[in-house]
């Protein structure tokens, strides 16, 4: 079975709709072509999504953490309460910068040490790739 779902959709905003789902690109493409040839108002397109992308994370039931880190690696780590922080439970890290230009990441991790390690690896990537936001002044 395919590890990807092929979603055929049309429209945008309030007119957006899912027309069909397929487990292979050729069937999705055939349906999209059929839809578009028969003159519907909105042109269909194919969107691809991984199948069961977060299955293992959900099984592990990892808590959410908020890590605030400076460019030099100084950090504060606290367990995040999604309701209090007004964030959705996320499975991929979410990054922002605060007023002091510190990186703030919400992420899932086993414990405080693991959360700091993940954030520090991301900090190193950002610095190496020139992606650390030095000019952010909210």
> What are 2-36's pLDDT values in tens digits?
588 999 999 888 889 999 999 999 999 999 999 99
* Within a domain: 136: no
| Same domain membership, residue 78 and residue 23 | no
Other residues' Cβ atoms within 10 Å of the Cβ of residue 33? 11
Is residue 56 very low, low, confident or very high in pLDDT (cuts 50, 70, 90)? low
| pLDDT at residue 50 greater than cutoff 80 | yes
Main-chain phi, psi angles of 37, to 5 degrees: -70, -30
Domain boundary pick from 50, 68, 86? 50
Q: In 3D, which of 60, 71, 63 has the Cα closest to residue 120?
A: 71
Q: pLDDT per residue over 92-131, tens digit each?
A: 566 777 778 888 888 888 899 999 999 999 889 988 888 7
List the strands of the sheet with 17-22, edge to edge.
Answer: 17-22, 4-10, 44-50
Q: What is the pLDDT of residue 84?
A: 56
Asked if residues 41 and 27 have their Cβ atoms less than 8 Å apart, the reply is no
Provide the domain limits for residue 106: 57-128
The overall pTM is greater than 0.85: no
Give the chain's domain count: 2
* Within a domain: 133: no
Q: What is the pLDDT of residue 62?
A: 80
Q: What is the DSSP string of 47-64?
A: EEEESSTTHHHHHHTPPE
| Same domain membership, residue 71 and residue 46 | no
Asked if residues 36 and 54 have their Cβ atoms less than 8 Å apart, the reply is no
| Same domain membership, residue 114 and residue 73 | yes
| Same domain membership, residue 62 and residue 29 | no
């Amino acid at each position: 079975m395919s590890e990807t779902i092929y979603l055929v959709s049309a429209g945008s905003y309030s007119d957006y709709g899912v027309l069909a789902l397929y487990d292979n690109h050729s069937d999705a493409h055939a349906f999209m072509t059929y839809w578009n040839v028969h003159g519907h108002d909105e042109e269909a397109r194919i969107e691809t999504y991984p199948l069961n992308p977060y299955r293992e994370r959900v099984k592990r039931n990892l808590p959410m953490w908020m890590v605030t880190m400076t460019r030099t690696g100084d950090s504060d780590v606290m367990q995040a309460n999604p309701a209090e922080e007004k964030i959705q439970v996320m499975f991929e890290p979410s990054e922002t910068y605060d007023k002091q230009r510190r990186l703030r990441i919400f992420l899932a991790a086993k414990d405080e040490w693991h959360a700091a390690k993940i954030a520090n690896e991301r900090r190193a990537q950002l610095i190496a790739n020139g992606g650390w936001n030095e000019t952010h002044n909210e």
